[in-house]
Amino acid sequence: MHSSNHIIKFADDTTVVGLISKNNESAYREEMQQLIAWCKDNNLSLNIDKTKEMVVDFRRAQSSHSLLVINGSSVEIIKSTKFFGVHLAENFTWSLNTTSITKKTQQRLCFLWRLRKPISVPHPDREGMRGAGNHVSRNSAAITQETLPSDDRWMGKRRRFNRQMKEVRRLIEVKRRNKLAA
């Protein structure tokens, strides 16, 4: 292994990072040939369709990069990749990674955004909800079934919410009956 190259292994993925300086790609190309030979000697097959190459060139006058060929097939050169959960672009700007994190955050906060504007539940007995000790029923009644997402992953939460709302309504009815009986 050359000192300008690093091999990073994680599970079944292998990443080769090579520094090409003074337009001399020989160390990187030799490292790749050694990796290909090692895989062949150990009965491991490289999936050429999944093998990608990303070139990061900081030179002002960028020259063309020769294609990497493995077993007669050229490897696709990509402009960005995801490496250990971080999106890397060939120019090392953070815009791609930031956009990805923002999108993921918005998807996960969707449930809270839907609860942002609660719809109050019309209840036939508003008098029963005005007394002291009814703050639980009033606050619980502010969130309705319409504010919960309808897709399958939230069905368990919807069922639990519906059970809780049924219990709140039952407690209100019991309290109203007790007032009428007294």
> Structural domain tally of the chain?
2
Amino acid at 133: G
Which pLDDT score is estimated for 63? 75
pTM as predicted: 0.52
Amino acid at 71: N
**Do residues 51 and 71 both lie within one domain?**
yes
Q: Output 109 or 49, whichever has higher pLDDT.
A: 49
**Do residues 93 and 21 both lie within one domain?**
yes
**Do residues 17 and 86 both lie within one domain?**
yes
Cα gap 115→128, rounded to integer Å: 25
**Do residues 14 and 91 both lie within one domain?**
yes
Q: Which domain holds residue 69?
A: 5-57+65-103
**Do residues 82 and 148 both lie within one domain?**
no
**Do residues 85 and 155 both lie within one domain?**
no
Q: DSSP character for 66?
A: P
**Do residues 98 and 115 both lie within one domain?**
no
**Do residues 9 and 98 both lie within one domain?**
yes
Residue 137 has pLDDT above 80, yes or no: no
Q: Residue 175, SS3? A: helix
* Cα–Cα distance list, 48 to 36, 104, 149 (Å): 11, 30, 42
- Contact present, 14 and 35 (Cβ < 8 Å): yes
Q: Output 144 or 161, whichever has higher pLDDT.
A: 161
CB atoms within 10 A of CB 158: 14
Tokens of 179: 């007032």
Residue-wise pLDDT tens digits, 149-168:
555 556 666 777 777 778 88
Q: How confident is the model at residue 118 (pLDDT cuts 50, 70, 90)?
A: low
Q: How confident is the model at residue 116 (pLDDT cuts 50, 70, 90)?
A: low
Residue 133 has pLDDT above 70, yes or no: no
Residue 124 has pLDDT above 60, yes or no: no
Residue 92 has pLDDT above 80, yes or no: yes
Given 45, 75, 103, the domain boundary residue is: 103
**Which bin fits 62, alpha (ψ -120 to 50), beta or left (φ > 0)?**
beta
**Do residues 162 and 129 both lie within one domain?**
yes
Cα gap 81→54, rounded to integer Å: 8
- What's the per-residue H, E or C state across 22-64? CCECHHHHHHHHHHHHHHHHCCCCCCCCCCEEECCCCCCCCCC
**Do residues 28 and 72 both lie within one domain?**
yes
**Do residues 34 and 124 both lie within one domain?**
no
Which pLDDT score is estimated for 125? 52
Which pLDDT score is estimated for 119? 52
**Do residues 122 and 168 both lie within one domain?**
yes
